[in-house]
Structure 1
Amino acid sequence: MSRSPLRGALAAAAALLVLATPAAALAAPYPLGAPAAAAAPDRAPTLALPRPTGPHAVGTTALHLVDGSRTDPWAAGRPRELMVSIWYPARTAKGERAPYMTVKEAELLLKEQGAGAEVVNALAGTRTNAVTGAAPLGRRHGLPLVVLSPGFGMPRSSLTALAEDLASRGYAVAGIDHTHESPTTFPDGRTTPCTTCESGGTPAFGEKSTRVRAADVSFVLDRLTGKDPAWKHARLIDRSRIGMAGHSLGGNSATHTMLTDPRVRAGVNMDGTFWIPIPDRGLRKPFMLLGAGEAHAQGGSDPTWGRDWKNMTGWKRWVTVKGMGHNAFTDYAPLLGDLIKNEDMFGTLPGARSLEITRTYVGAFFDLHLRGRSRPLLDRAAERYPEVTVKR
């Protein structure tokens, strides 16, 4: 589950975009459908994220946070510094769309495949739905907060489509780049590479990264909900309603964060191995496992899910999606998954369908546990989603 980054998939699919797909088709709300005619050489390809499903426009801003009390565990002698994106409901959809990622981040993400400028620019130039710096919508302490932690090797931008959707439904969302575990660009122009990518995948690394990510989340919560908040609209956040969701290594980190930080009251693991077991005393807070493939329905191909399931002593659900692959929970499924038929990475479901299911079930979970809204979808099979199995 906590697998290597899908850099090869991104490079291969983006290369196909350059060769085979006209810009007009890619800019559609669900951009990757049937193969199209060859693009003219002078037309740069354009990728676009699907539109959010909620009633509100979405705004966003980026924060550069420095934790002077903590030495960076991956860069000796330097304080820990993070880039964080905040998404939130906005008063208007008018304004400049936020960038997806920097060209340098895309270049580093794809460097092992020797991707050319067209491929790099196609990914970096993905069209988002959020407006940079838009005026927020909401009352004081009115927005529940969801923290998103990406998979190993992937930037925070890989969960933008989920973040935008939650924001459009009335949540504040904080997406974190865990520095040195993915390419990260800072305001002064520096871009740190994924310096840990060669050492990832071992139990020792998984345990260390889990603890580092939990500390990152707690620091971000300090800076968003403390006396001197880093975001000028932080007063909108309801400090009593905070949840966390993550993909792969980010999902694994959610339980450890919830055990070590009482502010995080509900969590979701999207297809991530648990590197640090839930202790025998149990996790009493609401938690949802959202997994790919049929194997999870019978106990999972990853033994850590079955091991930790019994120690989830509060409200819990084990949701399995037939036809989804490990990376189908990220933006790369709707952007690129339909162009490369790699079942291990994306599964067999269309990318747009995978995103719809992810948004629907993650949104329903937080609606129930952070807003107190009934969501029967989490209790039984849904006719609209025959691919989904819910274990209570």
Structure 2
Amino acid sequence: MHLARTTVLALAGLLTLTAPTPAAAAPAAAPRLPAPTGSHAVGVTSLHLTDASRHDPWVPAATSRELMISLWYPAAGTRGRQQAPYVTPKESELLVKDAELPVAPDTLSKVRTNAFTDAVPAGRKRGLPLVVLSPGLGSPRSSLTSLAEDLASRGNVVVGIDHTYESVATAFPDGRVATCVACGNKDADFGEQVVRSRAADVSFVLDQLTGAKPKWRGAALIDRSRIGMAGQSVGGASSIAAMVRDKRIRAGANLDGTTFAPIPEGGLARPFLFMGSPAMHSPGGKDGSWGRDWKQLTGWKRWLVVTGAEHASFTDVPLLAEQLGIDLGFAMTGARSVEITRTYVAAFFARHLTGKPQPLLDKPSARYPEVTFGG
């Protein structure tokens, strides 16, 4: 997660946004994420997974692909459980250094979340949809925590993936910390490489959660027939690549990501949501990839443009920046961007993973005038 030098993957390569201006004085209180809007308490746990069937795509010397994932889920009770850390102190140190933030190195590790570590999972067997979340390049899985906690509070299991060597910092249980090797890649087909690798990561994680010997104790709660995926930036672009590769993913959402993986000539008939900022992703905007792919989406689809949003508005970045006294210059507040992202993504998955009608997705809403329909 880049608070100061938000890195985005675009067709031309890596683009770096202008560094923000720090306010005169940062507040003393630790930043906190907004409370989830659903009815369930939220638990979270982290798992270290190893795919021995493939080499790491960014570090050839690594003969297996190691991943860290977080699972957010409805919890039966939180008594005696600690609120989960946002990131580890070492991850915070590297993120703060990379973004050149005017804060203490451990600041991000003190962000107050709403989930409780290793709380007992709640739900009936095969009763909960599963939503995969993939972050932007350089960003850890924690950058989508506000969205993950909210989806879990609404009755979903949510898995956030740290795509190793594609994040500024990924801490492993044995103390190792992987950095963003991929961020320095200059290959002309880098975008395609990333989404292809992430699609393989997603399929492997689904195998580990829904296979014969699942790695998570709450895996029996997951309804294997109701799996969705969303992501921000290249994580959103990877939703298309993952859906093309893996038919288990019933619905996908791209939050402001330039797309790279070609959709097969026959099209993609499963539900898909494009939701983005005006600069890149309004019809006729700078990024033509959505218009190209829109024609290949043959099932239910929506193209939503959020006025006032920037690339990082679909993450926790603006919310935390404001609380840290850092002015990103965004027109939309962090609280509002989190509310809009949560509301529309939750509606999308409620409609397509649970079958519940969602009028919000059918026409503009007076409650959210920032959101316009494109395509």
Task: With the length of structure 1 as denominator, give the TM-score of the two structures.
Answer: 0.87
- 2:358 maps to 375
What SS does the aligned partner of 1:188 have? coil
Q: 1:114 to 1:53 in 2, by over 3 A?
A: closer
- 1:247 maps to 232
- 1:148 maps to 133
Q: 1:113 to 1:75 in 2, by over 3 A?
A: same
Could you tell which deviates more after superposition, 86-95 or 171-180? 86-95
- 1:38 maps to none
CA contact (8 A) 1:297 1:389 kept: no
Q: 1:137 to 1:315 in 2, by over 3 A?
A: same
Q: 1:193 to 1:365 in 2, by over 3 A?
A: same
- 2:181 maps to 195
CA contact (8 A) 1:5 1:152 kept: no
Cα separation, 2, equivalents of 1:178 and 1:130: 22
- 1:2 maps to 9
Choose the corresponding residue for 2:27, options 21, 31, 39. Answer: 21
CA contact (8 A) 1:58 1:164 kept: yes
Q: 1:295 to 1:225 in 2, by over 3 A?
A: closer
CA contact (8 A) 2:321 2:327 kept: no
- 1:348 maps to 331
Equivalent position amino acid for 2:369 in 1? P
- 1:362 maps to 345
Cα separation, 2, equivalents of 1:286 and 1:114: 39
Cα separation, 1, equivalents of 2:27 and 2:322: 14
Q: For residues 83-123 of structure 1, give each alpha carbon's deviation from its aligned partner in whole angstroms, at most 9, with x where no partner exists.
A: 0000000122432001111121122223245557x522111
- 2:269 maps to 284
What SS does the aligned partner of 1:240 have? strand
Q: For residues 318-376 of structure 1, give each alpha carbon's deviation from its aligned partner in whole angstroms, at most 9, with x where no partner exists.
A: 01100000000001121114744435xxx311110000000000000000000000001
Output aligned runs, 1:1-392, within 5 Å.
2=9, 16=23, 19-23=25-29, 46-78=30-62, 79-94=64-79, 95-112=81-98, 118-182=103-167, 183-199=169-185, 203-293=188-278, 296-337=281-322, 339-343=325-329, 347-391=330-374
Equivalent position amino acid for 2:39 in 1? P
Q: 1:8 to 1:68 in 2, by over 3 A?
A: farther
CA contact (8 A) 1:341 1:348 kept: no
Shift of 1:16: 4.7
Q: Higher strand proportion, which one?
A: 2
Cα separation, 1, equivalents of 2:32 and 2:206: 30
CA contact (8 A) 2:271 2:301 kept: yes
Equivalent position amino acid for 1:352 in 2? A
Equivalent position amino acid for 2:69 in 1? V
Q: 1:73 to 1:297 in 2, by over 3 A?
A: closer
Q: Higher helix proportion, which one?
A: 1
CA contact (8 A) 1:98 1:129 kept: yes
Cα separation, 2, equivalents of 1:53 and 1:257: 28
Q: 1:293 to 1:259 in 2, by over 3 A?
A: same
Q: For residues 60-87 of structure 1, give each alpha carbon's deviation from its aligned partner in whole angstroms, at most 9, with x where no partner exists.
A: 0000000011111111132100000000
CA contact (8 A) 1:5 1:153 kept: no
Could you tell which deviates more after superposition, 105-114 or 265-274? 105-114
What SS does the aligned partner of 1:48 have? coil
Could you tell which deviates more after superposition, 119-128 or 239-248? 119-128
Cα separation, 2, equivalents of 1:103 and 1:63: 18
CA contact (8 A) 1:249 1:273 kept: yes
CA contact (8 A) 1:379 1:390 kept: no
Q: 1:337 to 1:279 in 2, by over 3 A?
A: farther
Cα separation, 2, equivalents of 1:126 and 1:227: 36
Cα separation, 2, equivalents of 1:337 and 1:306: 33
Identical aligned residues as a percent: 55
Could you tell which deviates more after superposition, 90-99 or 260-269? 90-99
Q: 1:105 to 1:209 in 2, by over 3 A?
A: same
Cα separation, 1, equivalents of 2:218 and 2:16: 35
Q: For residues 121-154 of structure 1, give each alpha carbon's deviation from its aligned partner in whole angstroms, at most 9, with x where no partner exists.
A: 1112111100001111100000000000000000
- 2:5 maps to none
CA contact (8 A) 1:246 1:252 kept: yes
CA contact (8 A) 2:46 2:68 kept: yes
Cα separation, 1, equivalents of 2:78 and 2:109: 21
Cα separation, 1, equivalents of 2:31 and 2:316: 11
Cα separation, 2, equivalents of 1:6 and 1:49: 26
CA contact (8 A) 1:7 1:110 kept: no
Cα separation, 2, equivalents of 1:355 and 1:289: 16
Shift of 1:277: 2.3
What SS does the aligned partner of 1:69 have? coil
CA contact (8 A) 2:233 2:257 kept: yes
CA contact (8 A) 1:241 1:370 kept: yes
Structure 1, unpaired ranges of 5+: 24-45
Q: 1:8 to 1:66 in 2, by over 3 A?
A: farther
Task: With the length of structure 2 as denominator, give the TM-score of the two structures.
Answer: 0.91
Q: For residues 235-294 of structure 1, give each alpha carbon's deviation from its aligned partner in whole angstroms, at most 9, with x where no partner exists.
A: 000000000000000000001110110100100000000112223210110000001126
CA contact (8 A) 2:9 2:15 kept: no
